[in-house]
Structure 1
Amino acid sequence: MKFDHDLTAETLPSKIYRILREAIIKGQLQPGERLVQDELAKTLNVSRMPIREAIKQLAAEGYVTVEPHKGAVVKQFTIHELEEIYFLRAKFEPLAAAESLKTMSSQLVNQLRNLNEKMKKTDDTDEYIQLNIQFHHLLIKDCPWGKLNNIIENLWTGFPQQTPHLLPNQIATSISEHDLMVEALANNNIELTCQLLEQHITRAKYDVLKNFIQ
């Protein structure tokens, strides 16, 4: 496997952590896949020590689990964990958005609209995933409630972002829902924007769970 990486800055363990984290988020490393230290060290042309430190950080943040006789394995989510993550996101992200958008500017609306336009144009799922993450984070970026922000960040941590976007029609549906949120925000209707955000996350939850059961 090849990783997109540049080992010219940061400390070595943090660079490797970032590379592996991105590979997990993009689905290059699949849920249930083992992280074999010798293989990773050879692929990245480093010793095992920084690999070991990076894996410790990934485990601490929930991206991998360490299993007896198997070592580090990319975390697999159960249907109950997925349901919990989406349920909590649908409750907490609109709360954070409501606080964040109190100080919004026309520039924010333009940024959100531009991100969604880029999502419409790209055929690259990885690029779409990154744009989608940026879109959601922009909605809550100015929320002053640190504990709420930490909860939301934790809910996003380790979650395989590619999963919902591989479902049939998921990307087109999400983009349409983003359009509705941007339009509501352009009309300065923060309450409607937050309602649409909750509906957006809840709808994605049902689609993912239905696919998971199948």
Structure 2
Amino acid sequence: MTPDEVARELARAIRERTILPGTQLVQEDLARRFGVSRNPVREALRLLEGEGLVEMRAGGGGTVRSLTAEDLDEVYMLRTALEPSIAPLVIDGATPRAIAALSALAEEMRRTDDVDTWMRSNYDFHRQIHELTGRPRTVRILSGLLSAGQPYSYENVAHLDGRRQAEDEHDAMVAAIRAGDSEVLGATLRKHVSSAHARLSTTRPTPG
């Protein structure tokens, strides 16, 4: 496995709460887990440090970053500011195939009874919207923010009654993209992120 592949697997485990915030990441243990030497693991941890998911320790190991209430506020404030601005790029980059894929993910979230499955599809849904911009730096920034908040947004979906509103907003996003309406898409993205932020602001940050 390459460092990028190791980083992707670790990021997914962090997003899906298989590896919880505060967990120590020991290079030797991770090397055995992925069947690689320590070098790819070290590079993967540095990549995740750059995304804000891991804090490096002296000696080369790392710790999954725990977000404070202020950290989580920052993540959602940045998303609220940035995501509506990409709406015109998303509209320009959308193809019938991409719209069909987003629609399928939205439907998948409505059908499942499993919150973990819902959260995985939610990440894929938003990541695909980011990728429609065709801007790699934009994708990295927004997907990094999405990944950082994902372990905590579980609370909004599982315990704060945010799921149904989120599903309605996903449908509205797909409809706006299909209609080529960047104004509606931007407004829906802003409402989607700010509503989740408002719910989470009533609780202490928790990875679920």
TM-score range, shorter chain: 0.7 to 0.9
1:103–1:16 CA distance, 2 compared to 1 (3 A): closer
Determine if contact 1:24/1:160 at 8 Å carries over to the other structure: no
2:152 paired residue number: 163
**Percent identity of equivalent pairs:** 29
1:72–1:182 CA distance, 2 compared to 1 (3 A): same
1:70–1:55 CA distance, 2 compared to 1 (3 A): closer
Distance 1:147 1:213 in 2: 28
1:12-27 superposed matches below 5 A: 13-27=3-17
Aligned length: 203
1:54–1:135 CA distance, 2 compared to 1 (3 A): closer
Determine if contact 2:130/2:143 at 8 Å carries over to the other structure: no
Determine if contact 1:63/1:159 at 8 Å carries over to the other structure: yes
CA shift, 1:200, in A, is: 0.6
> Are 1:33 and 2:20 matched, yes or no?
no
1:152 paired residue number: 142
Root-mean-square deviation (Å):
2.9
Q: Write the deviation string for residues 100-129 of structure 1: whole angstroms up to 9, x where unpaired.
A: 214544544433222110111123333322
CA shift, 1:139, in A, is: 3.0
Q: Which has the larger radius of gyration?
A: 1
1:121 paired residue number: 111
Distance 2:205 2:67 in 1: 13
CA shift, 1:95, in A, is: 1.1
Q: Write the deviation string for residues 163-195 of structure 1: whole angstroms up to 9, x where unpaired.
A: 212332232321122123333444443312211
1:185–1:55 CA distance, 2 compared to 1 (3 A): closer
Paired letter, 1:162: P
Paired letter, 2:89: E
1:211 paired residue number: 203
2:169 paired residue number: 177
- Alignment match of 2:87 (pick from 90, 97, 111): 97
The TM-score, its normalising length taken from structure 2, stands at 0.80
> Are 1:73 and 2:63 matched, yes or no?
yes
Determine if contact 1:164/1:204 at 8 Å carries over to the other structure: yes
Gap regions ≥5 residues in structure 2: none
1:201–1:128 CA distance, 2 compared to 1 (3 A): same
